[in-house]
Amino acid sequence: MLTLNIGLDDTDSPRGGCTTHLCAVLVELLSKLKVKFRDYPLLIRLNPNVPFKTRGNGAVCLRLEVEKKAVDVIKELVLKEVSRLADLSFSGTDPGVAFLLGDIPAELRRLSEQAMCDMVSLNEAFRIAEKCGAEIHTFKEGRGIIGALAAIGETLEDDYTYELITYRVPENWGKPRAIDIESVKEMDRLTSPDTFNNIDDDRVLIAPHGPDPVLYGVRGESPEVLLKAYKLVKVHEPIERWVIFRSNQGTDAHLRVKRKICNAHPYMSAVIEGVVSSKPVVSQGGHVFVKIRDDTGEINCAAYEPAGSFRWVISDLIPGDVVRVYGGIRPPSLSHPKTLNLEKIEIVKLAPNLKLHNPICPNCGKRTSSAGRGQGFKCKKCGKKIFAEKVTVELARRITESIYIPPPRAQRHLTRPYSRLNRKNAPPIKLLDPWHFP
């Protein structure tokens, strides 16, 4: 028996399609061929800051155990379904498919690590595919081959979560999703924190809003809790199929590399430790900007209006605070310098918030006023004039030395939520029965 790794990416477009749906169709077809799945399908989210992503920048990987005589049959099947289901008529859809037999080479793992937090060129992907012996197939420009290879190279050994995704029948694509909101709230009450980011106040987060085939997806810590959640969510439309994926969602996989400010370049996902070097500024649109510096330079950081109350954490920073900021680097524009778009902040050490006050009148205990330059202070109530220094007072801070994350509605797919800050999953992996339908 041989291990066959199959990577897929960039089959969707803003007007429809979905790479995970294509994967779900392949799961059904491959199951009919009696192949053995070595793992759940992998849903690997790559660098969310690349400029040419469709939505969540997700690629998928299937790991199969097959007989040698079945390899060519499976390859033909996969390529046929990509040609059938990918939105090839859209100008920005450039699918890539990769096949790799055997174990995952170290160089392919490194490519995956780079694709998680930075840019990878198409030429570099081709070079690594040739060196690792991966068979690649490109459609049109073939940019999807980067994600296809990166999905194969990600083995999820450090941490992972799961997502159960349900799909709509084709005649409902593009129509409003018929999901019972109260059942989602009940599901969240009964399964969280083992499921996460289901709802934010009264806003349902498990369902997308576009014309793609996804009905809803629930993320969680185990396949078992996802099956429980699936049974609790009520919908008023037919479900064509569902699949449980193993994923790097909710793991901060893109925010693991610390960078110096001088090395932070556009479209990179970065972690930078520095000192707040400016007072925060709130723009007319409600966005909050603050600068931090390290020993190599200074960078602008931004928390945007959709981040809600997270912005007010940023607005409470003062110069001298030591922070660790996490996010994507936005290139400079005519109106803004190079900026780190904040996805999370860790306040490492708060600076004392000191303020100078006029001295207290020794006669009546009231705060004095300045009597003029070099003239000391005068009490307006009793008229006493005193010569003294201003008094330094330390004001209480409204924020603490802690980690702050935007509300669920403003989080990336990859963002580690509060419920997972001290939680990790690790192999071995056991396939449930069932883990997909049909």
d(CA 68, CA 70): 5
The CA-atom distances, in angstroms, between 326 and each of 74, 293, 357 are 41, 14, 37
d(CA 262, CA 86): 40
Residue whose tokens read 């310098």: 337
pLDDT band at 375 (very low <50, low <70, confident <90, very high): confident
Percent of the chain with pLDDT over 90: 86
pLDDT band at 376 (very low <50, low <70, confident <90, very high): confident
Question: Please, what is the Cα angle at 324 between 321 and 328, to 5 degrees?
Answer: 130
Which of 81, 83, 93 shows the shortest CA–CA distance to 140?
A: 93
Tokens of 46: 């790559």
Tokens of 260: 């110096």
Residue whose tokens read 């084709």: 170
DSSP annotation of 198:
S
Which of 168, 154, 151, 35 shows the shortest CA–CA distance to 95?
A: 151
Q: Say how many Å lie between the first and final Cα of the chain, rounded.
A: 25
pLDDT band at 202 (very low <50, low <70, confident <90, very high): confident
pLDDT band at 54 (very low <50, low <70, confident <90, very high): confident
Q: Report whether the peptide linkage leading into residue 417 is cis, meaning its omega lies within 30 degrees of zero.
A: no
The CATH code that applies to domain 2-155 is 3.30.70.2200
The CA-atom distances, in angstroms, between 215 and each of 204, 212, 416, 436 are 12, 8, 23, 15
Q: State the average pLDDT over residues 390-402.
A: 93
Residue whose tokens read 């996010």: 327
Tell the CATH topology of 261-350+397-411: OB fold (Dihydrolipoamide Acetyltransferase, E2P) (2.40.50)
Instruction: Tell me the pLDDT tens digit for each residue of 62-80.
Output: 999 999 999 999 999 999 9
Instruction: Tell me the pLDDT tens digit for each residue of 227-246.
Output: 999 999 999 999 999 999 99
Tokens of 411: 């989080």
| Spacing of C-alpha 329 from chain mean position | 14
User: What length does the chain have?
Assistant: 438
The CA-atom distances, in angstroms, between 107 and each of 50, 100, 104, 130, 142 are 22, 13, 8, 11, 20
pLDDT of res. 370: 87
pLDDT of res. 15: 87
Read off the pTM.
0.93
pLDDT band at 321 (very low <50, low <70, confident <90, very high): very high
Q: Is the pLDDT of residue 347 over 80?
A: yes
Helix (H) / strand (E) containing 399: none
Cβ atoms of residues 148 and 96 within 8 Å: yes
- Each domain of the chain, given as residue ranges in start order, spans 2-155, 261-350+397-411, 353-395
Q: Is the pLDDT of residue 55 over 80?
A: no
Query: In whole numbers, what is the pLDDT of the chain averaged over residues?
Result: 95
Tokens of 50: 């690349």
